[in-house]
Structure 1
């Protein structure tokens, strides 16, 4: 049986790559008309197309979720794995819905550009749409692997945690054989001068004083 810890690198790399690919594709046009601009009464430099900004936003959220998953431990990591899976599933749903909605959006963009009825534009999905769809599906696969194996993955050491103050030593922790005299040597230069002003010799140790 494969060691679950060995799934860490391939699953994380797949998750980051798929989320990154979806983020890039989400900034591109996903649908456009298959007819030439001239046949639509447009200039050659003009295009009629539509995008899906929500998919790009979800892809960036997915990238952030993977980043949090990598730096958490225990139950928090397993929770983030579930969150990652939910975001990836929503990304797939949004991408599928785009296939149904974007042709109408292209027609609306044409009416906005020409102020006329769109008619049959022959809308087609661009290559970036298919890149986004594949990336979203792979993101679900990676997130599913994270939900299943995250509890076995190596965790970031505690040395990366925020430093905490060490508690002061309690009087009860003082060794039993310590001298009964609790007077200590001055710790700072200011304490030395105060001791000299009071008539004490700060260099004199308690065990050297006369009885």
Structure 2
């Protein structure tokens, strides 16, 4: 698998796992019936994963953001992103486990599985991140090449200083 394809696979699978975890955390995990005085009918309250495990949705969103940040970082920053990504996956898996204990059902198990998938993908990214390309420097500002002070009275000189990568507002 090429480096770009491996990174794309990690990003897409990480985003998919985080997205599934996010969706499952917003579904109804449990319905609670509350008695009300006669003649009122009993009240049925639907509790989502966010009500049972309040960190489930934020953990999924952090995992989603970390998948995107993997593309924008490199080196030490990419390693930090993979650690944050794995931590978000662990938090999501923990939310699913809490949900399975408190409100057994399909959606808590899906959240737990999605969290485990995020951890696996983050581990893969941790191991392979050095092989993956970083962002292109194509649109970075050029270095300061002879970008001496420009004459503020000459608009053309100001534009030329910008073209050379200089900041005409700062004296050198």
TM tier relative to shorter chain: 0.5 to 0.7
Alpha-carbon distance in 1 for matches of 2:105, 2:94: 18
Q: Gapped runs of 5+ residues in structure 1?
A: 103-123, 171-186, 190-211
State TM-score, norm by structure 2.
0.68
Alpha-carbon distance in 1 for matches of 2:137, 2:3: 22
The residue number in structure 1 matching 2:75 is 74
* 4+ aligned runs moved over 6 Å, structure 1: none
The residue number in structure 2 matching 1:142 is 121
Post-superposition Cα deviations, 1:157-208, rounded to whole Å, max 9, x if no partner, equal 11244x25624367xxxxxxxxxxxxxxxx789xxxxxxxxxxxxxxxxxxx
Rg bigger for which structure? Answer: 1
State TM-score, norm by structure 1.
0.57
- Equivalent of 1:156, from 135, 138, 142? 135
Judging changes above 3 Å, is the alpha-carbon distance between structure 1 residues 160 and 53 closer, same or farther for their aligned structure 2 residues?
farther
- Could you say what the CA RMSD is over the residues aligned between the two structures, in angstroms? 3.1
Judging changes above 3 Å, is the alpha-carbon distance between structure 1 residues 98 and 160 closer, same or farther for their aligned structure 2 residues?
farther
Post-superposition Cα deviations, 1:23-76, rounded to whole Å, max 9, x if no partner, equal 11122222336xxx6xx7885883454533310111101111122111112221
How much does 1:10 deviate?
A: 2.2
Alpha-carbon distance in 2 for matches of 1:126, 1:43: 26
The residue number in structure 1 matching 2:167 is none
3-state SS, counterpart of residue 159 of structure 1: coil
Equivalence map 1:160-179=2 (5 Å) = 160-161=139-140, 163=141, 166-168=144-146
Judging changes above 3 Å, is the alpha-carbon distance between structure 1 residues 139 and 164 closer, same or farther for their aligned structure 2 residues?
same
Q: Gapped runs of 5+ residues in structure 2?
A: 149-153, 157-172
The residue number in structure 2 matching 1:24 is 23
Query: Larger RCO: Structure 1 or Structure 2 (Cα < 8 Å, ≥ 6 residues apart)?
Result: 1
Equivalence map 1:28-177=2 (5 Å) = 28-32=27-31, 43=41, 46-47=44-45, 49=47, 51=49, 52-100=53-101, 102=102, 124-161=103-140, 163=141, 166-168=144-146
Judging changes above 3 Å, is the alpha-carbon distance between structure 1 residues 4 and 45 closer, same or farther for their aligned structure 2 residues?
same
